[in-house]
Amino acid sequence: MESPPQPAVAAAPVAAGPTAADEARVAQAKILWEQAFRKHIKKYQKYPKSAKRKNQQGSPVVEFVFDRQGNVLEARIARSSGFAALDEAAISTFERASPLPPIPPEIEADRLKYPVRLDFILTN
């Protein structure tokens, strides 16, 4: 016995990926956010006096997590400068700087993890 004909199933529409214009808009938003972020962080970065006296220089990398509003939720040293005072100053920078500039609406994320290098370089 032959089975009855099955009803045709319509294919679900395939969502189109982001257009080149969408990608460009997101890329531009990231660039503008990073510029605002670096300017903001620079205001809160302080060279430790003890490190200056000892001529300690370095560039620790801090990996931090922040939410849409720019609140720093976590900050840790991803790569040490080799000097505890500079590493501690790097973490303190993010504590003082919170909240950071908020995540732009073009970026669809509730939280971001972001690494940044902070340079502690003595100048004459």
Long-range contacts of 76-83 (CB under 8 A, 24+ apart): 78/115, 79/117, 81/56, 81/57, 81/120, 82/58, 83/51, 83/56, 83/58
What was the pLDDT predicted at 28? 94
Residue 120's DSSP bridge partners are 58
Taking 60 as the threshold, does the pLDDT of residue 2 lie above it? no
Taking 80 as the threshold, does the pLDDT of residue 6 lie above it? no
Taking 80 as the threshold, does the pLDDT of residue 15 lie above it? no
| Nearest CA among 121, 102, 123 for reference residue 45 | 121
Report pLDDT digits (tens) over 57-101.
999 999 999 999 999 999 999 999 999 999 999 999 999 999 999
pLDDT confidence band for 108 (50 / 70 / 90) = confident
Taking 70 as the threshold, does the pLDDT of residue 49 lie above it? yes
CB 89 within 8 A of CB 81: no
Percentage of residues of the chain with pLDDT beyond 90: 74
3-state DSSP percent of the chain in helix, strand and coil, to 5: 35, 20, 45
pLDDT confidence band for 17 (50 / 70 / 90) = low
What was the pLDDT predicted at 14? 53
